[in-house]
Amino acid sequence: MSFDPLYSNLTGYIAGVDEVGRGPLAGAVVTAAVILNPDNPIAGLDDSKKLTEKKRERLAVEIKEKALCYHIARAEHDEIDELNIFYATLLAMKRAVAGLSISPDKVLVDGKFCPEIPYACEAVIKGDSRVASISAASILAKVSRDNEMIAMEMTYPGYGFAKHKGYPTKMHIQALESLGITPIHRKSYKPVQKIIEQFR
């Protein structure tokens, strides 16, 4: 796909940042920051939600191989409960940028808000489909979080985490109603609060 030339033509170290996992009832919100190498382009980058799982997995490997640097970070379910998802997401983004081995000249963040970081930062609406480095970040964050939730299927069998990745699907709600919540559920989210009340 072709990305927005307004951002494609920027010079210097440009870090793209994106998050995955604001909507789920369980698990962490995961973020990634990526500085791509303009001399080693990656074909097929796009908003992670528009890609198949197989293509995301392949691209994630290529991004890790070709990017100048990247860092994947997170805010845990208990931090989400303490701060709320908005501030927890900004915290996870801040951690992702702080983990980069190269200091960026500018940071481009998907969405409407920038985290508090010591770099020039711009929020880009629909950035994951407009900016290559944000697209790369969305793919790394998505693949990382999905794999974590697949692993949670083994720890907490019966919830279907491998299928719904913690999102509030009918299957997930039914599992909560029959099994109760797990330690990784977000207690501040209303569907989870409802289950807690039922099991009291």
pLDDT at 200 (0 to 100):
74
What percent of the chain is predicted at pLDDT more than 90?
A: 92
pLDDT at 9 (0 to 100):
86
pLDDT at 65 (0 to 100):
98
Is residue 105 in some structural domain? yes
For residues 141-167, average pLDDT: 97
Across all residues in the chain, what is the average pLDDT? 96
Is residue 61 in some structural domain? yes
Q: Which of 63, 13, 20 is nearest to 40 (CA)?
A: 63
Is residue 11 in some structural domain? yes
User: How many domains does the chain fold into?
Assistant: 1
Q: Tell me what percent of the chain is helix, strand and coil, each rounded to the nearest 5.
A: 45, 15, 40
pTM: 0.96
Enclosing domain of residue 142: 5-154
Query: Which residues make Cβ contacts (< 8 Å) with residue 13, sequence separation at least 6?
Result: 35, 68, 102, 103, 104, 105, 106
Is residue 141 in some structural domain? yes
Q: Rounded CA gap, 16 and 28, in Å? A: 20
Is residue 17 in some structural domain? yes
Instruction: Give tens-digit pLDDT for 95-119.
Output: 999 999 999 999 999 999 999 999 9
What CATH number corresponds to the domain at position 139?
3.30.420.10
Q: Where residue 199 falls among pLDDT bands split at 50, 70, 90? A: confident
What percent of the chain is predicted at pLDDT more than 70?
A: 100
Q: Where residue 1 falls among pLDDT bands split at 50, 70, 90? A: low
**HSE (side-chain half, CA atoms, 13 Å) at 37:** 12
Are the CB atoms for 53 and 157 separated by under 8 Å?
no
Q: Where residue 31 falls among pLDDT bands split at 50, 70, 90? A: very high
pLDDT at 69 (0 to 100):
98
Q: Is the pLDDT of residue 2 over 70?
A: yes
Is residue 162 in some structural domain? no
Could you please report the per-residue DSSP string of 93-141? HHHHHHT-SS--SEEEEESS-----SS-EEEETTGGGT-HHHHHHHHHH
146 φ, ψ (degrees, to nearest 5)? -60, -45
Is residue 183 in some structural domain? no
Is residue 149 in some structural domain? yes
pLDDT at 130 (0 to 100):
96
